[in-house]
Amino acid sequence: MTAATVHSAIEPAEAPLTPESWGKLGMWIFLVGDAVGFGVLLAGYGAMRSTSGDWPNPYAVLGINLTALMTFLLICSSVTMVKGLEWLGKGDRTRAVQYLFFTALGGAIFVSLQAYEWSHLIHRGLHINQNPWGATLFGTSFFLVTGFHGLHVTGGVIYLLSIIRYVANRPDPAASYNAVEIVGLYWHFVDLVWIMVFTFMYLL
């Protein structure tokens, strides 16, 4: 008798939240914890901003044209991610790898544009401890939150590239389906967080 059958004999009514794999549940638990991290950053941002007397108008000083393009790019990369998973489910490993690669590329371009935006803003005087437009915490929170998100995108690109290798090394598409679904969860989460960051830190 294996450990699994002993377990189901003890708890017959218990069904796992994610029957496909434990890894998926693991990723969900990680993401919920990570979401608390971003939630705390954004809640702190909201509280600091609404009780500040001289908070600058973000979209006027930051400029949103480039950021809107970055938002669009991340949404596109989410679509290529789901398409990649869909192709893998259909058994087309080559197409799946192609779409995963487009997703990683979208992420890499996103981070590059963010680096460009940062250097541009730093050049205009936005620093972590001072800025020419008002409340000091404006710069602090801007770099902290967008930086934390940017690190997530960077990590995501590395994660995606390693999963591409994982898929390429397994001739049976079904063998890598779970791994791709799990990296997808992470990637969509990063997209979801950017939707929040874009709204609260640039538009509001």
What is the rounded CA–CA span in Å between residue 40 and residue 56? 21
151 binds other proteins (CB under 8 A): no
Q: Which stretch binds other proteins (CB under 8 A): 4-12, 49-57, 101-109, 152-160?
A: 49-57
What letter represents residue 97's amino acid?
Answer: V
Residues in contact with 68: Cβ distance below 8 Å, sequence separation at least 6, in sequence order? 198
Helix ranges, 90-172 (H): 93-123, 136-168
Spatial CA neighbour of 17 closest among 7, 27, 9: 27
Among 7, 8, 22, 32, binds other proteins (CB under 8 A): 32
On the CB side of 60, how many CA atoms lie within 13 Å of its CA? 5
- Residue from 7, 47, 115, 130 touching other proteins (CB under 8 A): that is 47
Residue 128 near other proteins by CB under 8 A: no
* Cα–Cα distance measured from residue 40 to residue 71, given in angstroms and rounded to the nearest whole number: 22
- Which range of residues in 101-109, 139-147, 161-169, 178-186 is near other proteins by CB under 8 A? 178-186
CA distance 107 to 113: 10
Q: Contact between 72 and other proteins (CB under 8 A)?
A: yes
Interface residues toward other proteins, by CB under 8 A: 15, 17-18, 20, 28-29, 31-32, 35-36, 38-40, 42-44, 46-48, 50-53, 59, 64, 68, 71-72, 75-76, 78-79, 81-83, 86, 89-91, 173-174, 177, 181, 184-185, 188-189, 191-192, 195-196, 198-200, 203-204
